[in-house]
Amino acid sequence: MFERFTDSARHAVVLAQDQARTLGHNHIGTEHLLLGLIQEGEGIATQALAAAGISLEAVREQVVGVIGQGQQEPSGHIAFTPRAKKVLELAVREALQLGHKHIGTEHILLGLIREGEGVAAQVLAGLGADPDGLRRQVIRLLPGEGAKSPEYGAGRPGGTGPVRARRCWIRSAGI
């Protein structure tokens, strides 16, 4: 499912699962993806969130405040919520709109921002993060991307096109 994800993005997703287990949650939601992005520690998403003053401890505290903490760690497979799956789909869309072949932590963060309604969005709002400002910060941190418009253009001219490529990838990933 994650063959086009960078090592950092895969690591962030694994950390999201770890965060869900640690918090005693039987699902991986947008909040866990946000925690995983911060805990990953090296990607563009981490840098953008740190620049906005968003810390792992503050996010974890907000998550527990919004959805609580489970009584025990779940065993076995933990599934993504439909909203978390949507964020991963939006991450693919963001990467394609930027003309990127791989999905990095920055694309997952952009997907979280674009989704805008999950627990992660509530947490970011609770911590005073400005979604548009965070999006601009991510774009500024991308190598060679700072001059592009916030809407990222229309994909690669002469290529397969972002919509078709996204649909093919989503179908093959089972999202």
pLDDT tens-digit map of 4-44: 888 888 899 899 998 898 888 888 999 999 999 988 888 88
Predicted TM-score (pTM) of the model is 0.75
User: What domains appear along the chain, each with residue ranges and CATH number?
Assistant: 7-173 (1.10.1780.10)
**Crossing angle for the helix pair 105-115 and 7-22, to the nearest 10 degrees:** 60
Tokens (6 digits) for 99:
């003309």
Q: Is the pLDDT at 47 greater than 50, yes or no?
A: yes
Least confident of 42-46, 58-62, 167-171: 167-171
Task: Give the residue-averaged pLDDT of 146-164.
Answer: 39
**pLDDT tier, 46 (very low <50, low <70, confident <90, very high otherwise):** confident
Residue that is written with structure tokens 């993504």 in the block: 80
Strands (E), 68-146: 79-80
Cβ neighbour number for residue 146 with a 10 Å cutoff:
10
Q: Is the pLDDT at 168 greater than 50, yes or no?
A: no
pLDDT in tens, 62-103: 888 888 777 777 777 888 999 999 999 999 888 888 888 888
Contacts of 154 (CB under 8 A, 6+ apart): 97, 162
Number of H helices, E strands in the chain: 9, 2
Return the SS3 of 70: coil
- Res 7: pLDDT: 85
Q: Is the pLDDT at 170 greater than 70, yes or no?
A: no
pLDDT in tens, 95-149: 888 888 888 888 999 999 888 888 888 888 888 888 888 888 888 888 765 434 3
